Amino acid sequence: MAPKRRSSGSASGSKTKRQKASISEQIPEGRSSRRRSQLSDVNGAEGVDENVTITDTNLDEPNNNDDQRDENIHDNDDNEEEDSDEDDDEEEEEDVEVERTYTGAKNAVGQADGRGTITIRHASGDVVTFHGRFKGGIKHGQGLMVFPDGGTLKGIWKNDEISGFGCYTCADGTHVEGNYVDGALHGNVKEYDDDNNLLFDGSYKDNVRDGTGILYLEDGGRLEGEWVNGEFEGKNNRYIYPNALADVCSLRGEWQGGNMKKGFFYKGEKKLSNHAFCFDESDDQKISSEPMLADPYEQICCYVQNSPMQDAGEGLFAKVDLPVDVAVSFYNGVRLDGKKVDQRAWRCNSNAISLNSTTDIDVPENHAMTSTYCASLGHKANHSFDPEKRNAKYDLFFHPRFGQIKSIRTIKAVKAGEELLVDYGYSVH
């Protein structure tokens, strides 16, 4: 069998667009945060003459509740508490508003009233601008907030806080829309990527996922169930495999802190195994805690046998008819420094593949055969130099057991019994 130093496929980071922890990481956060303070407190627009700049270095007051919380956290470590206080002082100093300019309509007593624009500059140099409607000196009505990082928040303001339906758009084009209460996302929310594909549909509380929701993964899988303070967490959650089969396949059970603690395999509504799967990400030494525990979805889709191609050894074959553009096999392995893998002898890289720009996945020689390792089978797929014969490709994949890995994804419809052939990225000279 020829060495399989595979370099094809995406070399992006460990999280794809649909696998970001949450767009909420980028949106305006709680009241104690800098961005939340920028959202509110434009009452200084009262009595501001058009095109007049006001400078004030004491407009923001410290949050006593936050200070008390910090004291409780660091109660047993005076030095750490002092360091924390110094950090808080530095952050507070950066938050100081030093300049604001209002241009627009005013009422009889000189307050911002009607359509206008207020620009607020902070000591850090950050500038926040609000374009919209004012009433009695505060934001009230339709408006658009523009943040220093290029993000925007569009919606209806009531008594200086965005309230009801609003849309926050990140600088990268991803956006989140839903219900705002007291300036924070709360209730039903939808997240979208920059191509307007739905990423998440579910409940938020104080700007993070909290409650029931569905996270749609870019590889075709999805997470359904409960979220707690931004983490996928609950005793009746489930991971849904990509839809390669007529019956929906899933792992159902308990998740904690975003990781699967105990999941059982279901095909449709039928539980097929009493063996519990758990999050078991590899490292540079361990490929799996249970190397002989096969993935049940992969076992339904594929099998390993000798390839009819000359000198190819074993290959990966479709067990059932497979549709186009669906992940059907997984490529787990030990995680190694890509630069060190490149420096190894070529013969040592027969089952190594690039995961991202810094990390390679490798199935070591002692785990190359299914008699010693069958937790994943993606390393068994063979290469074809003929593009017409290739019917699959390597692709990034999130698996609740293995973490971020590569997968074998079909690029054509594949009949049962056909060998799955990919491109190793070899150069032909």
Q: Map residue 333 onto helix, strand or coil.
A: coil
277 vs 9, which has greater pLDDT?
A: 277
Give me the pLDDT at residue 6, please.
52
**Predicted local distance difference test score (pLDDT) of residue 95:** 65
Q: 216-274, pLDDT tens digit by residue?
A: 999 999 999 999 999 999 999 999 999 877 789 999 999 999 999 999 999 999 999 89
DSSP class per residue in 25-55: GTS---TTSHHHHHHS--GGGTTPPTTEEE-
Mean pLDDT, rounded, of the chain: 83
Q: Is pLDDT of 108 > 50?
A: yes
Query: What is the reported pLDDT for 144?
Result: 98
Over residues 54-96, the pLDDT tens digits come to: 333 232 333 344 444 343 334 444 454 455 555 555 444 556 9
pLDDT of residue 244: 72
Separation of alpha carbons 123 and 114, rounded Å: 28
Catalytic residues: 331, 379, 383, 394, 424
Return the structure tokens found at 186. Answer: 């709360």
User: Nearest 5°: phi and psi at 111?
Assistant: -85, 150
- The mean pLDDT value for 359-386 works out to 96
At residue 272, the pLDDT reads 93
Whether the predicted pLDDT of 340 surpasses 80: yes
- How does DSSP assign 98-162, residue by residue? EEEEEEEEE-TTS-EEEEEEEEEEETTS-EEEEEEEEETTEEEEEEEEE-TTS-EEEEEEETTEE
Residue type for position 27 = I
The span from the CA of 219 to the CA of 202, in Å, is 20
pLDDT at 399: 98
- Residue 27 confidence (pLDDT): 52
**Confidence (pLDDT) at 50:** 38
Residue 84 DSSP code? H
Predicted local distance difference test score (pLDDT) of residue 429: 52
* Residue 181 and residue 203 in contact, taking contact as beta carbons nearer than 8 Å: no
Say what the pLDDT of residue 83 is: 55
- Confidence at 428, pLDDT banded by 50, 70, 90: low
CA–CA distance, 263 with 274 (Å, rounded to integer)? 9
- What pLDDT is stored for residue 15 in this prediction? 34
Tens-place pLDDT, residues 298-312 = 999 999 999 999 989
Between 36 and 32, the more confident residue is 36
Comparing 428 with 185, the larger pLDDT belongs to 185
User: What is the enclosing helix (H) or strand (E) of 209?
Assistant: strand 208-216
The pLDDT of residue 339 is above 50: yes
**Which of 18-27, 170-179, 185-194, 366-375 is the least confident region?**
18-27
Helix, strand, coil shares, percent, the chain, to 5:
15, 40, 45
- pLDDT of the residue at 391: 98
The beta strand positions in 346-400, using DSSP E, are 352-354, 359-362, 382-383, 392-399
Average pLDDT over residues 333-362: 94
Mean pLDDT of 372-395: 97
Positive or negative torsion for Cα 364, 366, 369, 372: negative
Is 53 a residue whose pLDDT tops 70?
A: no
